[in-house]
């Protein structure tokens, strides 16, 4: 049986159309397939179970990251979900990716420091608190948490707190005319703990003058003055 030339043309046209549609579907599939980097960011630990709220947050982050893998807010949201399910290494991975985009972001730095404290990797935690202090010297918790790490875990570095606190006070005073009283309080405690009673008294006096309702500082100041007078 002979096939007419017109019929052959129809068959060829249909085949071409099928190939075009198939190619289009394949290209669409490739475009919507998450990159290897995104797959790694989105991969949750085996057996991980999310609450309804966590799942909504996770899905929203995925939607944004598929369009723009460099969206810091979506990365932070994803890291928070990982942190909430105690996937600490996964949270570090995602926060680190966000930090590449926003290297001075206090929230990211602080959350990374907190995770490393939980993992008892105190050197790394201290590194992130130092970065916060460098970029945001008014972030009091960074000094406080760093002092705790130095005092109990990296004891040979505790004396570094003096210059860090003095530098923070100077920077803030230069910009704003007055430093937060919490920095003087931390400095007073540092001098108290390291035996520099004269400077401890000096800084406790600043604290009490600025915050007279601070009864613990007032009591410690009176105690130090009493001991100093008794010694003389």
pLDDT computed for residue 30 by the predictor: 33
- Residue carrying structure tokens 């004396």: 159
8 Å CB contact between 173 and 207: no
Q: What is the DSSP string of 128-153?
A: HHHHHHHH-TT-HHHHHHHHHHHHHT
Helical H runs in 5-87?
5-32, 36-42, 52-67, 72-84
pTM across the whole model: 0.82
Burial of 168 (C-beta count, 10 Å sphere; 0-12/13-18/19+): buried
8 Å CB contact between 40 and 93: yes
From first to last of the 232 residues of the chain, give the pLDDT tens digit.
455 666 556 566 556 555 556 444 433 433 443 578 788 888 899 888 999 999 999 999 999 999 999 999 999 999 999 999 999 999 999 999 999 999 999 999 999 999 999 999 999 999 999 999 999 999 999 999 999 999 999 999 999 999 999 999 999 999 999 999 999 999 999 999 999 999 999 999 999 999 999 999 999 999 999 998 887 7
Helix (H, G, I), strand (E, B) or coil at 1: coil
pLDDT computed for residue 67 by the predictor: 92
DSSP 82: H
pLDDT computed for residue 40 by the predictor: 81
Instruction: Identify the CA nearest to 137 among candidates 175, 98, 185.
Output: 175
pLDDT computed for residue 222 by the predictor: 97
Residues 198, 187: Cα–Cα separation, whole Å: 12
Residues 133, 143: Cα–Cα separation, whole Å: 7
pLDDT computed for residue 43 by the predictor: 85
What does the buried/exposed string (b/e) look like for 8-38 if buried means 16 or more CB atoms within 10 Å of the residue's CB?
Answer: eeeeeeeeeeeeeeeeeeeeeeeeeeeeeee
């Amino acid at each position: 049986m002979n096939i007419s030339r017109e019929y052959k043309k129809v068959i060829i046209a249909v085949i071409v159309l099928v190939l075009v549609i198939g190619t289009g579907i394949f290209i669409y599939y490739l475009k919507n397939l998450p990159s290897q980097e995104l797959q790694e960011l989105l991969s949750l630990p085996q057996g991980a179970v999310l609450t309804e709220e966590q799942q909504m947050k996770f899905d929203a982050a995925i939607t944004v990251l598929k369009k723009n893998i460099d969206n810091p807010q979506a990365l932070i949201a994803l890291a928070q979900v990982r942190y909430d399910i105690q996937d600490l290494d996964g949270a570090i991975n995602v926060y680190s990716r966000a930090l590449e985009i926003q290297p001075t972001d206090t929230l990211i730095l602080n959350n990374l420091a907190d995770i490393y404290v939980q993992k008892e990797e105190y050197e790394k935690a201290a590194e992130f608190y130092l970065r916060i202090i460098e970029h945001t010297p008014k972030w009091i918790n960074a000094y406080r948490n760093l002092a705790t790490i130095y005092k109990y875990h990296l004891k040979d570095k505790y004396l570094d707190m003096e210059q860090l606190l003095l530098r923070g006070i100077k920077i803030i005073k230069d910009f704003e005319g007055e430093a937060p009283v919490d920095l003087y309080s931390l400095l007073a405690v540092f001098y108290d703990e390291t035996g520099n009673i004269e400077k401890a008294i000096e800084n406790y006096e600043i604290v009490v003058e600025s915050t007279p309702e601070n009864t613990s500082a007032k009591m410690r100041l009176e105690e130090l003055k009493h001991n100093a007078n008794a010694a003389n």
